[in-house]
Chains A and B, each alone.
Chain A
Amino acid sequence: MNNAPQILVIDDEPQIQRAIRTILTEKGFGVTTASHGEEGLTLAAANEPDIVILDLGLPDMDGVEVCARLREWTQCPIIILSVRDSERDKVAALDKGADDYLTKPFGIEELLARVRVALRHSTNRQGAQNKVIKAGALTIDLVWHIVKRGEDEIKLTGTEYKLLAYLAANHGRVLTHQNILIQVWGPADADHTEYLRVYMRQLRKKLEIDPERPQYILTEPGIGYRFISDG
């Protein structure tokens, strides 16, 4: 079992700890739990887990701060757990380096899917990145800047391609509006969400089968976007 991925769960609610521990252990993960921020930070330093699952509402310190303190020394994926309507906190945590979030209450499949994505990204960080991303009929070649649906090449403008490439390179992860704006448009345009909205609409029209019900680029309400790939 030593090769099993290690997951650190930082959450002060014993019921949630119990549920997550039971399910993740069942699925073959090694699980450690902490109920306080400080305790979590100590355990993270001692065990060097592969993934941290972090609740934002901790008794001793703000989850966003825990996230920032973890990011000072480790790049291990952090999945945020939070209640509904705390978009601001989620965005803050994601901007502070968290990789993903789940809203309580969540389905266990959702949790497992996020854990898998996170694990893949942590391997990608160590090894070579995928240069070709596949999603349904779409193929995105990040080396040659070619986007295809089936055999047909899709013509994208420069900005559209930059946007898609950034989303696809981070497939499965939530990217906040600000994060995308800074990466694609530059820091000066970090607040111009409307740019993003317009280009996202154009991009979806070119990529999606039904642009009103997108299946490749999903909207994370109030937070950002997520690209869904096959991998």
Chain B
Amino acid sequence: MKSAVMRISSLISRSGQYLLAIVLIASITAIFFGLQDMLDTTLIALLYLIPLGLITAYWGLGPGITGALITFLTLNYFFIPPYYTLAVHRPTDVVILVIFLVVAVVISQLVGRMQASLIAATAREREATQLYELSIALTGLHSEYAIAQILAKQVQEVSQGEYVEVNITGTESLSFHLPEIKLPARAPELIAPIQAARGVHGEILLWKSTPVIASGEKRLLETFASQGALALERARLSQAESRARVLEESDHLKSILLSSVSHELRTPLSTIKAAASSLRGNEVSWNSPARVELVAAIDDEADHLNMLVGNLLDMSRIESGALKPKREWNILSEIVGSVLARMRHSADEHKLEIDIPETLPFVPVDYVQMEQVFTNLVSNSLKYAPSNTLIRIRANMEGDTVHVQVSNQGPHVPPEHLERIFDKFYRITAADRVTGTGLGLSICKGIIEAHGGRIWAENIPDGLAFNFILPLTWDGAHPPQLPMDTEIE
């Protein structure tokens, strides 16, 4: 339908051009006819060449040649005696007519050819501009989807296509089409593969309303496709490069970790080795108190090693995102209680105070992971706070969250370090002063954040406090209320 209308309208405009050419020649002829007495026949013939040139220049070769033939006839009819007949008597007039016809046709041809090459040049320029715009639009794109989008948009604009679809294959195939409605059921009129040196990356499909596709259009689409291929390769290379950079960084971190870890692991190992070998070598008598001490050292250091390995595992789990809390409705004081019961021996030089209200609702947390948080915070306090000082664990409900504070009477941390103490391997003091992995607090941070909470440290008047906030809701659900049973047997 649409194409038929277009064809008719183009037919009308073409015949209009012929009509205009005839009208122009008719009016010029009228003017010349009026001025006939002042003008020589030869001059009239020459003057006729001007409108002929214009006609060809503006409306093309067809109207030009037609104009030339009509002019030939009018010249003969009106201006060459005998007037008002097409007969010619004088031989000179025959010569004039023949020369006029030849010159008119040649001029029309020349101007027409010039015109055609001008149109071609304009088309080439437009093509070049479109390509330039495409390559500008594609520069700096790293996402394959964005490339497909730009490609489809530009093809759509340039080709005036009905539908355009860009398919990209690779590790993740994707497809984008314009306009964003259902694609037509028929096969596309044109398919251009997106091909580059490394192989085919996809294809551009084009549906056109006019079935005829010029070779230039096809060539342009292929050029677009190859531009798209280049952009895709560029994007893939840059992705590969950034992956390589990430790997390199993690490699660097790993070597820091390894050097720190091997130092930390060797210390207890040396103790164990020394104690075990001296026991084995019978250098220590069976009943001496030294023996008991050596055995105790082996036991303690083995526990220490076990803790180190556990911390490392936790850290790697946090970093790989594998730390998924297994939430349950828990009672915070039970968690704290079991941590303190386990740490009783190491905490006998400090006073511990727990202040958790009975009315505190259930908290949706992973029991084991929260134990780990309290263990790390308390053991950090034990390490830095002087003996016979107070370590206090407090919890309060604040709106939809619970605020927990573990405070000690240890030294202040310089304000600029308060945030960084949760970083891996970060120590304010020299590493050899206190044993540990430098991972405890960052594990706490990882666990609290995996629970959707927040952790921070602050200096309080008489020491240091670790605070964390945990949401009391679990997937939008509030802590359950339980009916108490009061029957007594």
* Cα of A105 to Cα of B307 in the assembled complex, Å: 10
Give per-residue flags for B320-338: 1 if the beta carbon is below 8 A from chain A beta carbons, else 0.
Answer: 0000001011110110111
Does A197 make an interface contact (CB < 8 A)? yes
- Residues of chain A touching chain B, judged by Cβ–Cβ distance below 8 Å, are 84-85, 87-88, 105, 107, 145, 155-159, 161, 193-195, 197-198, 200-201, 211-214, 219, 221-222
Question: Within 8 Å CB of A107, what residues of B?
Answer: 299
Question: Within 8 Å CB of A214, what residues of B?
Answer: 337, 341
Given contacts A201-B333, A213-B337, 15 further A-B contacts (CB under 8 A): A85-B313, A85-B368, A87-B368, A105-B306, A157-B489, A158-B485, A193-B329, A193-B330, A194-B329, A194-B482, A201-B334, A211-B337, A212-B333, A219-B334, A221-B338
CB distance from A102 to the nearest CB of B (A): 13
Q: What are 8 A-B residue pairs whose CB atoms fall within 8 Å in the complex?
A: A85-B310, A157-B485, A158-B489, A194-B328, A194-B482, A197-B329, A211-B337, A222-B368
In contact, B326 and A222 (Cβ under 8 angstroms) = yes
In contact, B487 and A158 (Cβ under 8 angstroms) = yes
In contact, B368 and A221 (Cβ under 8 angstroms) = yes
Of A88, A159, A214, A221, which is in contact with the most chain B CB atoms at under 10 Å from its CB? Answer: A221
Question: Within 8 Å CB of A85, what residues of B?
Answer: 310, 313-314, 368
Question: Within 8 Å CB of A198, what residues of B?
Answer: 331, 482
In contact, A221 and B371 (Cβ under 8 angstroms) = yes
Question: Within 8 Å CB of A200, what residues of B?
Answer: 334
* Cα of A147 to Cα of B138 in the assembled complex, Å: 81
Does B24 make an interface contact (CB < 8 A)? no
* Cα of A88 to Cα of B324 in the assembled complex, Å: 13
Interface residues of B in 332-373 (CB under 8 A from A): 333-334, 336-338, 340-341, 344, 354, 362, 366-368, 371
Give per-residue flags for B39-50: 1 if the beta carbon is below 8 A from chain A beta carbons, else 0.
Answer: 000000000000
* Cα of A159 to Cα of B488 in the assembled complex, Å: 9
Identify the closest chain A residue to B372 (Cβ).
Answer: A221
In contact, B489 and A201 (Cβ under 8 angstroms) = no
Give per-residue flags for B290-311: 1 if the beta carbon is below 8 A from chain A beta carbons, else 0.
Answer: 0000000001001000100010
CB distance from A121 to the nearest CB of B (A): 24
CB distance from B310 to the nearest CB of A (A): 6
Identify the closest chain A residue to B317 (Cβ).
Answer: A85
Identify the closest chain A residue to B342 (Cβ).
Answer: A221
Closest 7 CB pairs of A and B: A194-B329, A222-B368, A212-B337, A213-B341, A219-B338, A193-B328, A221-B368
Total interface residues in chain B, CB < 8 Å:
32
* Cα of A221 to Cα of B370 in the assembled complex, Å: 10
Does B199 make an interface contact (CB < 8 A)? no
In contact, A221 and B367 (Cβ under 8 angstroms) = yes
CB distance from A165 to the nearest CB of B (A): 11
Identify the closest chain B residue to A145 (Cβ).
Answer: B489
Question: Within 8 Å CB of A213, what residues of B?
Answer: 337, 340-341, 344
Identify the closest chain B residue to A106 (Cβ).
Answer: B306
Identify the closest chain A residue to B329 (Cβ).
Answer: A194
* Cα of A207 to Cα of B421 in the assembled complex, Å: 42
Of A197, A212, A221, the contact of B354 (CB 8 Å cutoff): A212
* Cα of A197 to Cα of B489 in the assembled complex, Å: 21
Of B326, B344, B367, which is in contact with the most chain A CB atoms at under 10 Å from its CB? Answer: B367
Does B27 make an interface contact (CB < 8 A)? no
CB distance from A27 to the nearest CB of B (A): 18
In contact, A197 and B313 (Cβ under 8 angstroms) = no
Question: Within 8 Å CB of A84, what residues of B?
Answer: 310, 313
* Cα of A156 to Cα of B488 in the assembled complex, Å: 6
CB distance from B24 to the nearest CB of A (A): 94
Identify the closest chain A residue to B314 (Cβ).
Answer: A85
Question: Within 8 Å CB of B92, what residues of A?
Answer: none
Does B486 make an interface contact (CB < 8 A)? yes
In contact, A195 and B337 (Cβ under 8 angstroms) = no
In contact, A201 and B331 (Cβ under 8 angstroms) = yes
Question: Within 8 Å CB of A87, what residues of B?
Answer: 326, 368
* Cα of A222 to Cα of B330 in the assembled complex, Å: 11
* Cα of A105 to Cα of B300 in the assembled complex, Å: 12
Does B480 make an interface contact (CB < 8 A)? yes
* Cα of A158 to Cα of B302 in the assembled complex, Å: 45
In contact, A197 and B334 (Cβ under 8 angstroms) = yes
